[in-house]
């Protein structure tokens, strides 16, 4: 049985962890230190009562770890305790492969909130969206769980099913059954839409910068002098490694500050600057963001916006502007502790405000309106002829892009890919607006140069 001597030993051990905080000096610290001793004695008393009188026997390790989890989780949604397994999982995630559903989550009003689903993962395929609230896991209510407990329940072996109860906006909760899988993240994907290069960054892990450089080189080789600009898609990107966010920003910047961090201590105040050299040679750039763009995504969008390097299009980002430092605890795991805030080059804090787009464009479904064929000048009786030779831009003299072999398998494949890209732009209104914006900018610039 745990006695007062045991409580005293526990308190003494805890005090030994942070002697600097309890050291007395001549500056009036004695009273503050005495209060700290009293609070730690209170903890020891509670620990003793729970250990001795709780209805079931609980190990000392569980009690202490639970106390640590509670202490950290009460600070903010992103500070937490990682046991050995959690710490290992976190390290695997930053390397780009891990097990689970494929969602980035946080805690909001006692419920698990989806920051964003990761592309091509079980959660994304099941229709989970940024902003969804998970209110139940396999029939168990989430209210009352810590974030770590909820995440632990969502983990499991590959191929096993989990049923989430989801609340979306003001609608009634509904259930979604998802099959767990090993999540292998391709952090950067790319394609072209006509003469516009499209780069999608899904997360910021160790593979992101090499992947970005490879995709930009590929697009540049494919389009050559026809390249009109790039769309950098950061929608539903939950963030990741700070160093990768800095590196991605540096890819498009030639100089200047990328981000600064400011904390409680001067040692937490740091500024990160771009190195000389823009990999895209200043090509026009549009950055797409939405409410699922968080943390590292916001650093990139904020840096490119503040430097006037890109136009930011979409909706306001998530607003996670805090820095978490991972502090290993030898033999136990680690703690994730919020130690600073992020600031954009203009000095604006991202925290709780996010990045506001230059052009606010909500995702929408666009349908053509059929008004019928209207009469034109050429339809009027006695209308004057155009007066120019040929039939103009749309005349019969227009070149046939498909050439003589338009019926070949290669041409049919090209037509099918073109149709798929057209359908993609029809379905993704924000992307369509971004591509049109780039084409409009380059067209305008070329005409200004001609004149």
* Tally of CB atoms within 10 A around 148: 17
Where b means 16+ CB within 10 Å and e means fewer, 95-115 reads ebebbbbbbbbbbeeebbbbb
Cα torsion through 448, 221, 437, 354, rounded to 10 = -120
Tokens of 377: 């000048």
* Contact status, residue 162 vs residue 154, Cβ threshold 8 Å: yes
> Is the dihedral angle over the CA atoms 71, 73, 76, 81 positive or is it negative?
positive
Beta partners for residue 108, in sequence order = 111
β-strand pairing of 80-83 with 140-141: unpaired
Q: Backbone phi, then psi, for 332, in 5-degree steps?
A: -130, -30
Find out whether 83 and 333 touch, Cβ atoms under 8 Å: yes
- Which contiguous run of DSSP H or E holds residue 192? strand 188-193
- 193 Cβ contact list (under 8 Å, min separation 6): 231, 421, 425, 435
How many Cβ atoms from other residues are within 10 Å of residue 451's Cβ? 5
Residue 141: which H helix or E strand, with range? strand 140-141
Distance CA 446, CA 451 (A): 9
Q: Catalytic site residues?
A: 295, 306, 320
E strand or H helix that includes residue 104: strand 103-108
């Amino acid at each position: 049985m745990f006695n007062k001597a045991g409580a005293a030993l526990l308190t003494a051990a805890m005090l030994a962890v942070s002697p600097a905080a309890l050291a007395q000096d001549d500056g009036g610290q004695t009273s503050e230190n005495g209060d700290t001793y009293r609070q730690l004695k209170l903890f020891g008393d509670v620990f003793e009562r729970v250990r001795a009188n709780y209805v079931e026997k609980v190990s000392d390790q569980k009690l202490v770890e639970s106390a640590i989890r509670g202490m950290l989780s009460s600070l903010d949604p992103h500070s937490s305790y990682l046991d050995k397994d959690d710490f290992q999982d976190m390290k695997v995630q930053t390397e780009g492969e891990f097990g689970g559903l494929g969602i980035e989550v946080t805690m909001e009003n006692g419920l698990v909130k989806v920051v964003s689903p990761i592309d091509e993962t079980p959660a994304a395929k099941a229709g989970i969206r940024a902003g969804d609230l998970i209110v139940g896991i396999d029939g168990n209510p989430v209210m009352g769980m810590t974030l770590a407990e909820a995440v632990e329940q969502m983990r499991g072996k590959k191929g096993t099913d989990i049923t989430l109860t989801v609340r979306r906006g003001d609608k009634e909760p509904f259930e979604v059954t998802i099959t767990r899988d090993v999540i292998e993240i391709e952090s950067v994907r790319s394609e072209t839409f006509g003469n516009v290069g499209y780069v999608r960054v899904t997360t910021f892990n160790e593979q992101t910068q090499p992947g970005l450089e490879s995709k930009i080189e590929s697009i540049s080789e494919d389009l050559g002098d026809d390249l009109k600009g790039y769309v950098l898609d950061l929608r539903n990107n939950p963030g990741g490694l700070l160093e990768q966010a800095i590196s991605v920003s540096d890819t498009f910047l030639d100089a200047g500050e990328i981000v600064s961090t400011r904390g409680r201590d001067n040692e937490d105040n740091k500024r990160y600057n771009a190195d000389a050299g823009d990999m895209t040679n200043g090509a026009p750039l549009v950055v797409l963001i939405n409410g699922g763009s968080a943390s590292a995504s916001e650093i990139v969008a904020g840096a490119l916006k503040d430097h006037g390097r890109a136009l930011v299009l979409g909706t306001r980002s998530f607003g996670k502007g805090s820095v978490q430092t991972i502090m290993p605890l030898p033999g136990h795991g680690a703690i994730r502790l919020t130690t600073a805030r992020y600031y954009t080059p203009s000095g604006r804090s991202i925290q709780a405000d996010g990045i506001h787009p230059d052009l606010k464009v909500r995702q929408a479904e666009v349908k053509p309106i059929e008004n019928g064929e209207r009469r034109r000048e050429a339809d009027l009786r006695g209308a004057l002829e155009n007066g120019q030779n040929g039939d103009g831009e749309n005349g019969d003299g227009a070149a046939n892009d498909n050439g003589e072999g338009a019926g070949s398998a290669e041409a049919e494949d090209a037509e099918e890919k073109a149709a798929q890209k057209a359908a993609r732009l029809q379905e993704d209104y924000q992307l369509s607006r971004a591509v049109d914006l780039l084409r409009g900018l380059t067209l305008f610039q070329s005409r200004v140069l001609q004149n």
